[in-house]
Every structure is written in C-alpha cells, then in structure tokens.
Structure 1
Amino acid sequence: MTSSKLGGKRKRTGFLLFLFSASFSLLVIGMICSLKWGTVSLSWTTLFEALTYRGHEKEHLYVQTLRLPRALTACLVGMQLALAGLLTQLLTRNPLASPHVFGINAGAALAVVCGLVTFANFSLPASIGFAFCGAAAGAALVWSLAGSGEKAYVRLALAGITIHFFLSALTEGMIILNQNSSETMIFWLVGSLSRAGWTNVRILLPFFASGLLLFALLLPSFRLLLMDDELAAGLGGRLRFIRAVGMLLVIALAGSAVALCGPIGFVCLIVPHIARALTGSRSLYVVAPLTGLLGAALLLFADFVSRFIAFPYESPAGIVTAAIGAPFFIYLARRQGGGSR
C-alpha cells in the first residue's frame, strides 16, 4: 500500500516536471520564432550575432531594437494577463471571469481613447498614464458598487459586467464621433505588440517583478479563496483584506499590460483553464507557475502568427487570441451549463 502510494507520487512528480519542461521549451521555441521570422527572415548566423551583439549591420539592429524587445514584451504581458485572469477567477469564484469583470480593460480603453481624442500629440508615456488611471478607476468603481459582506464576490461579478458594458459603450461612442482617429483607436483596442520597444520593457519590468513577488508571497492566503467564506474565516483568514490586495494586484498586472498593448482578449480567460486541465490539480502552487509560462508562450505565438495574417502588413495579436479564445469560451460556457444542470 505504501509502496504503491510512493510510486504514484513519483509518477505525479515526474509528470509535472515533464509538463513544466515542455512548457518552458514551448516558450523558448516561441521566442526563437519571434526573433528569426517576420517581414524579413534572418539566417541563424545573423540571429546569433545579433543576440550576442557581435554585429552592427542593419539586420542585427533590426533584431536588437525591434524584435527582441517585442518578444520580451509579449512574454511579460502574456504572463501578467494569465496570472491576472487566474486571480480574477479566484476572487469572483467564477470560472468564466477575467479582468473584464473588474472593469480594468474597459476603463483603460476609455481613458486612452479620451486621450487620443483630446490631445493632438498623444505620446506613449501619456497613453500609459491614462490607461493605468482608467484601469484603476474602473476597478475602484466596480469594487465600490460591489460592497462587502456575504456573497460579495457575486455582486462583484454583476457590478463588473455592468460597468464593463457601460464603459465600452462610451468608448464606442467616442470612436464613432471622432472618425479621424478611429483607425489608431481600433488598432489599439484589438490589442497589438507591433509598437513594442525597450521603453515598454523598462516600464513593464517594475510591475512584472513586484507583481510576481507579491503573488508568490500571498499564494498561501489566496488558497483560502478556494474555500467557503465561513470555513476560510474560521481558519483565521481575513477575506476582505485578501480580496482587496488581490484586487490591487489584478490592477497592477492587467492594468499595466493593457496600458501598453491594449486589451488583448481571452488570454486571461483560457490560460488558467488550460493549466488546470493539464495538471489535473487545483493547487495554486502547481497551477500558478504553469499559468504564467503558458500565458507567455501563447501571446508569443499569437504575435508571431499575426505577422503573417495580412503579410507583409502587421495585424493585431488580439485577432489571433480572439480566434483561439472565442471557441474555447463557448466550450467552457456549455460545460459549465451542463455541469449545473
């Protein structure tokens, strides 16, 4: 009996090691594809020289100043969005939830559109500031409407959906009323990494590092969100404080990502489900790191594929994630509905 349990545990550990190794390998392959192929295909020698900064030709500079920061931005944004989605589903106890529920994407989009309409020379730092403030304001509005107390997570989801549609309607109205800037607005709203540079990486890194550190430190507390409120409170959990900190963490992770690359859809929703399905576990110590790896890999490949949709022109990466995520969302909705029945 004991030997069989030990054998099962070893098999489980071996499977998880294989799963994490495969996910990391997928991330590396996505990085290589993103650096090597695009509107200009590079040789392996040129790519190696560019990454080791041994050459200063046009091709080397193309990798160093455009493709490398773009790939790194895709990794950071994908990981942040995936972890934000996982945390959103924990906070709301809704498997179909994403940062849309907190009004983050809609708030950021409305703020950036307002900036594009109001100011003629709307710079990248200004758009980042506007988007982050809009994301925080949208989340604060949803949180204030949800209140606290018993079943607060239910009211949070309902308030979030209402605010999301309200802010999205305002955004669409401003786009219709300002046709001159509509192309730029729509391209940003779909979600794109085409303008990512080293400035984006430098801006994202503080949010990325601090967000991941806080997520790791609070992982034991977030596990209480998997329990009933009464049981978690009986174990000494301060649920109101945990949800408030979780809310701030979602704003930091998703808000900063949306501010730079637009509201890239479905990464927040589908990646946590894929991680749970692959591991067959609800343990956050297993699901959370795998979610981050898969989120980075998914956005890397989505950005890579988006380069060839209308080649040689760029397409938003949000088109690819939506094409993958929409059928997956329908599948999840039908499965949840079937389970409830």
Structure 2
Amino acid sequence: MADYMPLEKQNRTGSLLFLFSASCIALIAGILFSLKWGQAQVSWSTLFDALAYRAHDKVHLYIQTLRLPRTLATCIVGIQLALAGLLTQLTTKNPLASPHIFGINAGASLAVVFGLVAFANLSLYGSMLLAFVGAAAGALLVWSLGGTGNKQYVRLALGGIAVHFLLSSLTEGIIILNQYSTESMMFWLVGSVSQAGWPEVQAILPFFIGGLLLLGFMMPSFRLLLLDDEVASGLGQRVSIVRAAGIVLVIVLAGSAVSICGPIGFICLIVPHIARALVGGKLTVLVPMTGLLGGVLLVYSDLISRAIAFPFESPVGIVTSVIGGPFFIYLARRKGRSNR
C-alpha cells in the first residue's frame, strides 16, 4: 500500500504534465495558424521573418500590424473570459453560472452601446470605463435579487437570466432607435475580434496582467468557496468578503474583455467544465488549465469564423454559440438528473 500511493501520485503528475503540454502546444499551433491563414497568402518563412521583425515590406507589416495584435487580443480575451466564468461558478456555487448568463456581459454591452449613442467621439478607454460600470451595475442588480438564505443561489440564477434578457432587450432597443450611429456595433454585439489592433491590446493588457496577479494572490482565499458557507465561517473566514473580491475580479476580467470584443457567448460557461473534467477540482491546477483552454478555444473559434464565409469575416460569437449551446443543454440535463 505504501508503494502504491507514490506510484499513483507519479501517474497523476505525469498525466497533468501531458495535459498542460498538449494544451500549450495546441495554443501555440493555433496562434501560428491564426497568423498565417487569412485573405492574403503568407509562407512560413515570411511569417517567421515578420515575427522576428527582420523585414518591413507590405506583407510583413500586414502581419505585424493586423494579424499579430488580433491573435494576441483573441488569446487574452479567451483566457479572461474562461477565468471569469470559473470565478462566477465558484462565487455563486452554480455550475451553470457565467458572466454572460448573470447579466455582467449584458450590462457591459448596454453601457458601451449607450456611450456610443450619447457621445459622438467615444474613446477606447471611455468605452472600457463604461463597460466596467455596466458590468458592475448588472452584477449588483442580480445580486440584489438573490437575497439571502438557503434559496439564494437559485434566486441568483433566475434573477441573472431575467436581468440578462432585460439588459439585452434595452441594448437592442437602443440600436433599433439609433440605426445609423450603431450600425457598426451589430458585428461587435455578436462577439467579434476582427477589429482588435495594437491599441486594444495595449488597453486590455494591464487588466489582464493585474487580473492574473490578483487571482494568484487570492487563490488561497478562493479555496474557501469550495466549502459550504457554514463550514468556512466556522473556520473563522470572512466568506462574504472573499465572494465580493471574486465578483470584482469577474467584473474586471469580463468587463475589459467585452469592451474589446463584445459579449462573446459560452466561453465562460463551457471551458471551466472541460478543464474540471480533465484535471479535477484542485484550484492550483484548475485555474491555469481553464485559462489555457480558454485561449485555445477562442483562437480556434476565430479561425473557424474566418472560414465560414471566406474571404469575408464572420463574428466569432457565432462559432462559440454553436459549440456552447448544445453543451449548455447537456449540462442542464445532467444537473437536473443529479438533482432528481
């Protein structure tokens, strides 16, 4: 028995290393294919010359100024949305929770669209600020509907869905009433990374780095959210403060991502479940795997979206919805059977 446990631990470590290595290779391969494939044909040698900044002709500048920032923004947004989904599920103790379903993404979208209509020359940082305000307002509204008590998490789910549809309807109403000034937003509202450039990468990078650092710093505290509230409180921990910090981090990660690429659906929901099925529920392993798989899924979804109506662009949100819709139905049915 004493020899069996170390062997089991070695097998577990080996499988985790394999999964992380495979995920990293898949992400790197997806980034390279995203940089190479598009309307303009690019050879591998030209691509590597452009990445090394060894040449500055038209093709190299095309890769450096258009494809490279778009791919980096796609990877960053995928990581942020996946981690925001994991934190939402932890803080609400609901496996079907996500910023998209709980009104956070819808609140950010409504604020950005309203800002576009109200302010003629809305800057990138202005839209990000509005996205944070809208995401925070959506989260507070949903949380206020949850109340307290044993049924809090059920009410949070129902209130989140209601708030999501309410805010989405208001967004659509603003667009209908201001068609000329919001015509360019239709692509963005479905979820699109086609317009992401170096300014967007520079704008989101501080929130990405700061969010990851805060998540790493708060990791020991977030482990309390895996316990029952009564047990964690009995251990002398302030569960409400930890949960509030988690919601703030969700707003930072999801709000900044939505301001850049729109409310891309289902990344927040499905990636944490895939990561949990692969590596288990230990947060020190689950968090990095969730981030990796979020980047992988969105990078490859962007590649697929380019092929749908090639050579024209399609919103990446179409692909994530096609993937995530059936997965959400499967999760809901499995959750219902487990409750019965």
TM-score, normalised on structure 2?
Answer: 0.96
| 1:259 to 2:254 alignment | no
CA distance in 2, matches of 1:271, 1:146: 25
Q: Secondary structure at the match of 1:193?
A: coil
Structure 1, gaps ≥5 residues long: none
Give the corresponding residue for 1:340.
339
**Counterpart amino acid of 2:131?**
A
Question: Is 2:66–2:197's contact at 8 Å kept on the other side of the alignment?
Answer: yes
Give the corresponding residue for 2:14.
14
Q: Secondary structure at the match of 2:308?
A: coil
Moved more, 129-138 or 324-333: 129-138
Instruction: Please state how far the C-alpha of 1:282 moved relative to its aligned partner.
Output: 1.2
Give the corresponding residue for 2:158.
158
Moved more, 179-188 or 94-103: 179-188
CA distance in 2, matches of 1:159, 1:116: 27
Question: Is 2:80–2:254's contact at 8 Å kept on the other side of the alignment?
Answer: yes
Give the corresponding residue for 2:232.
232
Aligned CA RMSD, in angstroms, stands at: 1.6
CA distance in 2, matches of 1:90, 1:126: 30
CA distance in 2, matches of 1:148, 1:239: 13
User: Relative to 1, partners in 2 of residues 1:143 and 1:322: Cα closer, same or farther, differing over 3 Å?
Assistant: same
CA distance in 2, matches of 1:243, 1:134: 20
Give the corresponding residue for 1:115.
115
Q: Deviations over 1:127-176 (max 9, x none)?
A: 22322221122223323443456654444333322222211121122222
CA distance in 2, matches of 1:289, 1:119: 39
Instruction: Please state how far the C-alpha of 1:312 moved relative to its aligned partner.
Output: 1.0
Q: Deviations over 1:185-221 (max 9, x none)?
A: 2211101011111111111111111111111111111
Question: Is 2:113–2:182's contact at 8 Å kept on the other side of the alignment?
Answer: no
Moved more, 127-136 or 26-35: 127-136
Structure 2, gaps ≥5 residues long: none
Give the corresponding residue for 1:246.
246
User: Relative to 1, partners in 2 of residues 1:155 and 1:330: Cα closer, same or farther, differing over 3 Å?
Assistant: closer
CA distance in 1, matches of 2:295, 2:54: 28
| 1:127 to 2:134 alignment | no
Give the corresponding residue for 1:104.
104
Q: Secondary structure at the match of 1:24?
A: helix
Q: Deviations over 1:262-295 (max 9, x none)?
A: 000000000000001112x111111111000000
Q: Secondary structure at the match of 1:218?
A: helix
**Counterpart amino acid of 1:125?**
Y
Q: Secondary structure at the match of 2:307?
A: coil
Give the corresponding residue for 1:41.
41
Give the corresponding residue for 2:295.
296
**Counterpart amino acid of 2:62?**
Y
TM-score, normalised on structure 1?
Answer: 0.95
Question: Is 1:100–1:161's contact at 8 Å kept on the other side of the alignment?
Answer: no
CA distance in 2, matches of 1:218, 1:125: 27
CA distance in 2, matches of 1:40, 1:183: 27
The aligned runs of 1:273-312 (5 Å cut-off) are: 273-279=273-279, 281-312=280-311
CA distance in 2, matches of 1:119, 1:235: 50
